[in-house]
Amino acid sequence: MPKLLTRMSMIAALALGAPLGGAAFAQTTPPAPAETETEAAPTEQTTPPDQGVSMGEPVVDGQVPGQTYIREVTGDWSLECLRVPEGEDEPCQMFQTLTDSQGNQVANMRLFKLPAGGQAVAGALVAVPLETLLTGQLTIQINDGQSKRYPFSVCDQQGCYARIGLTEEDVNSYKRGASATVSLVPFVAPDQRVSLDLSLTGFTAGYDLVTLPTE
């Protein structure tokens, strides 16, 4: 399978708005009004004089808010964080690349915490290549425990994605486990499953560092 480019897919909690842009529309100048004996009183200016100019944004160590970066590594997991304005808490998630036996990137997994109140205490987004048989779904097995199968939610030009909800029991299984197996079915070989190793080394330490965005 071809390499799958790593991309930031921070589940709604870390999503960034796209910058505004686009070409300006041509405008037609309206005809001048007929002259009258009494000139109309000038209207008050309501548009700020500095409209349309940039006031700049703070740069810290060459970085600006809205960029993602790897803050630290715990075992085989990276802590991926989003830079925010000074004084706010950075939202962070766990990230790991899954490779095949030749070292080619096949999939990746991002794991994040969810706000309290739901059955799922954490979520994960697993990205796989477009050449995946979607009806074969995604299977995850922790050590030799019971496997769980998850459907794929959406695809784009980069790949396809399974959005996973994790209960407290699921998270504890990840913490206790040494490794997990993530498997998928190739579209060109529907009678086979491709199994990828997901390391759980450093999971507990990394999970403790995961933070939600500031509300």
User: Helix or strand or coil: residue 109?
Assistant: strand
What's the token pair of residue 107?
């999939």
Q: Distance between CA atoms of 180 and 170, rounded to whole angstroms?
A: 12
Classify burial at 157, counting beta carbons within 10 Å of its beta carbon; exposed 0-12, middle 13-18, buried 19 or more.
exposed
pLDDT value, residue 101: 85
Q: Distance between CA atoms of 139 and 18, rounded to whole angstroms?
A: 33
Q: Distance between CA atoms of 69 and 79, rounded to whole angstroms?
A: 8
Q: Is the dihedral of CA 147, 153, 117, 16 positive or negative?
A: positive
Task: Please tell me which residue, 206 or 59, carries the higher pLDDT value.
Answer: 206
What residues are paired with 194 via a beta bridge? 184
Residue among 96, 90, 99, 98 nearest 111 (CA): 96
Third-level CATH fold of 60-209 = Immunoglobulin-like (2.60.40)
pLDDT in tens, 57-91: 555 555 555 789 999 999 999 999 999 887 788 99
pTM: 0.71
What's the token pair of residue 89?
């808490």
Task: Please tell me which residue, 55 or 23, carries the higher pLDDT value.
Answer: 55
Q: What is the arithmetic mean of pLDDT over 149-163? A: 96
Q: What is the arithmetic mean of pLDDT over 128-147? A: 95
Share of the chain above pLDDT 90, in %: 60
